Amino acid sequence: MSPPVAGFPASRPVAALTAPFRRRPLAAVLHALLALPPALAGAAVVSAGLVAGGLLSVTPLGPWLLALTVRGALALGALQRAAARRLLGLDVGPPLRLSAPGAFGWRRSVLTDRAGWRAVGAALAAPLTALWPLLAVLIGYVYGVLLVLHPLLKRWNYTTVRGADGSVRPVSLQLGGVEWDSWPRWLVPCAVGLVLLASAPWLLRWAGAPQRAALRALLGPDAADRRIHDLEETRAQAVDEAATTLRRIERDLHDGTQARLVGLGMQLTMVRELLLAGAGTEQVLTVVETAQGNAKQAVADLRDLVRGIHPPALDAGLDTALATLAADCPLPVRVTVVLDRRPSPAVESIAYFSAAELLANAVKHSGAREVRIAVRGGEVGDGEVRDGGAEVLVLEVLDDGRGGAVVGAGSGLSGLRARARTVDGSLTCESPDGGPTLVTVRLPY
């Protein structure tokens, strides 16, 4: 089922009637009008190229003609992706393509590339998928406008009918033996036209679903390409995160612990010099107390540094670590952990740090009164927690704050999503204005 069109609330008839003439629906109308002619031309050229290339395949010219046909289908696919991005807001990335040096290498790579043959399939299917949005424009917009303006257009849009007495008279609209040309009967076609116009954006979106699906499936990267891209992206993010963590540790050691240990060494040297100089007991004790304070602070800094790398509470399990985290939070936090076994250390660490970051966000930005943390995975409750056939650990953090959280836009949620993706996990956020905010992290279990 297609999502409702933005700005089409049932409680506001005026907004419903103006929705078909807003920017996005009109851009979809323009796309429907412009998509069919190049689709027909492209299908004809690609079909002719395939037939000619197949017939000439026994000659040296045949493979070259097939390669040019496939390359033309790729160019047509790029044009279709650009039009969809510009007019429909549908961003389909280019497929990964093979390449080889030399003319014969180019021909071999084009003919053996899956992306090229998928583009050929898209070119052949384009006329059929482009026809449905055009029919939706005809039904929703053209007929809707004609019916709404029926009282004004009936004098120009008419046909002649012959009566029982043999007389001929003009009739502009007749259905079911009833003429809809006089007051108040023409209110019925006007009402039907209004309904068609109001439902035109939804009808156009529904009719364009096959076209959008074909664009994603045939002209974008396939599953293997997307998998490779995700792995490359998550690897780069993991390397960047490791480098950032290493720089943070070096900075904390240099600016905090190292400085305190240097000060401790200097103070011990002062104690030695004071003792050799025969200084008073009170003066020596003052320096010793200062050195003792620096030593304690250095130990505390090291403890905080280690906690940022691996929280000691995780040694007792994720449930204990989350309970400790909740106990230190200024907000009331309810923690529920239901797992049939202990996760791997990497997944456990990501789940803990995700919960810690989300809890900190709720305290700083949400204005929440209460936070709930729920973790489940494996054979719990009424069955196993699965995602696409694989078991997953699900972490949900719910707060009753003001909402409005968005993944991206400089928020910490982007970093959490990047961290989850390093283990093929995912993060989703549902945060309408006014709240509540629900962040769900799914990790392999």
Q: Write out the two tokens for 411.
A: 């928020």
- By DSSP bridging, strand 174-175 and strand 168-171 are unpaired
Range in 8-17, 56-65, 270-279, 427-436 the model is least confident about? 8-17
Please, are residues 298 and 264 in contact by the beta-carbon 8 Å criterion? yes
| Stretch 309-331: mean pLDDT | 82
The 10s digit of each residue's pLDDT in 201-244 is: 999 999 999 999 999 889 888 777 666 666 666 666 666 666 66
What helix, strand, coil percent values describe the chain, rounded to 5?
Answer: 65, 15, 25
Element (H, E) at 309: helix 281-309
pLDDT at 3 exceeding the cut of 60? no
Of 427 and 387, the one with more pLDDT: 427
Mode of pairing for the β-strands spanning 371-380 and 333-339: parallel
* pLDDT, greater one: 413 or 385: 413
Return the SS3 of 7: coil
Nearest alpha carbon to residue 138 among 17, 32, 7: 32
Tell me, what's the pLDDT at 2?
41
Q: Which range among 151-160, 293-302, 359-368, 410-419 shows the weakest confidence by mean pLDDT?
A: 151-160
Q: How buried is residue 73: exposed, middle or buried, by Cβ count under 10 Å (0-12/13-18/19+)?
A: buried
* Tens-digit pLDDT profile for residues 90-119: 888 888 777 788 888 889 988 988 889 999
Between 313 and 178, the more confident residue is 313
- Lowest-pLDDT range of 147-161, 162-176, 370-384, 406-420: 162-176
Tell me which of 169 and 341 has the higher pLDDT.
341
Q: C-alpha distances in angstroms, 265 versus 30, 175, 177?
A: 76, 101, 106
Going by pLDDT thresholds of 50, 70 and 90, the confidence category of residue 292 is confident
CB 345 within 8 A of CB 384: no
Strands 371-380 and 390-399, sheet pairing? antiparallel
Higher pLDDT pick, 22 / 306:
22
3-class secondary-structure state, position 84: helix
Q: In 3D, which of 135, 123, 124 has the Cα closest to residue 33? A: 135
Q: Is a pLDDT exceeding 60 seen at residue 157? A: no
31 burial level (CB within 10 Å; 0-12, 13-18, 19+): buried
User: What is the H or E stretch that residue 174 is in?
Assistant: strand 174-175
Residue 133 is predicted with a pLDDT of 94
Cut 0.85: pTM above it = no
Can you give the pLDDT at residue 416?
A: 84
At residue 394, the pLDDT reads 92
Check residue 345 and give its pLDDT: 85
Interval 244-261: pLDDT, tens: 666 766 676 666 777 777
At residue 131, the pLDDT reads 94
Outline where 19-149 has alpha helix (H). 23-55, 61-83, 103-112, 114-137, 143-148
Neighbours of 17 (CB within 10 A): 14
HSE-CB at 290 with a 13 A cutoff on CA atoms is 17
- Tell me how crowded residue 345 is: count the other CB atoms within 10 A of its CB: 10
In sequence order, the 6+-apart residues with CB closer than 8 A to the CB of 189 are 147, 150, 173, 180
The pLDDT-based confidence of 408 (bands split at 50, 70, 90) is low
Structure tokens at 157: 């849009």
**DSSP code of residue 414:** H
pLDDT at 303 over 80: no
Burial of 53 (0-12, 13-18, 19+ CB in 10 A): buried
CA 251 – CA 311 distance, rounded (Å)? 19
d(CA 241, CA 232): 14
Question: In the predicted model, what is the mean pLDDT of the chain?
Answer: 80
Q: Which of 128, 127, 126, 113 is nearest to 71 (CA)?
A: 113
| Model pLDDT, residue 173 | 57
**Class for domain 313-444, per CATH?**
alpha beta
- Rounded to an integer, the average pLDDT of 351-376 is 88
For 99, phi and psi rounded to 5 degrees?
-150, 150
Judging by beta carbons within 10 Å of its beta carbon (0-12, 13-18, 19+), is residue 444 exposed, middle or buried?
middle
User: Who has greater pLDDT, 45 or 10?
Assistant: 45
pLDDT for the residue 372: 92
Q: Residue 99: what pLDDT?
A: 79
Q: Is the bond leading into 184 cis (omega within 30 degrees of zero)?
A: yes
**What is the rounded CA–CA span in Å between residue 182 and residue 441?**
63
Tell me which of 41-50, 128-137, 257-266 is least confident. 257-266
Residue 431 banded pLDDT, cuts 50, 70, 90: confident
What totals of helices (H) and strands (E) does the chain contain, helices first? 15, 10
pLDDT in tens, 337-360: 998 888 888 888 889 888 988 888
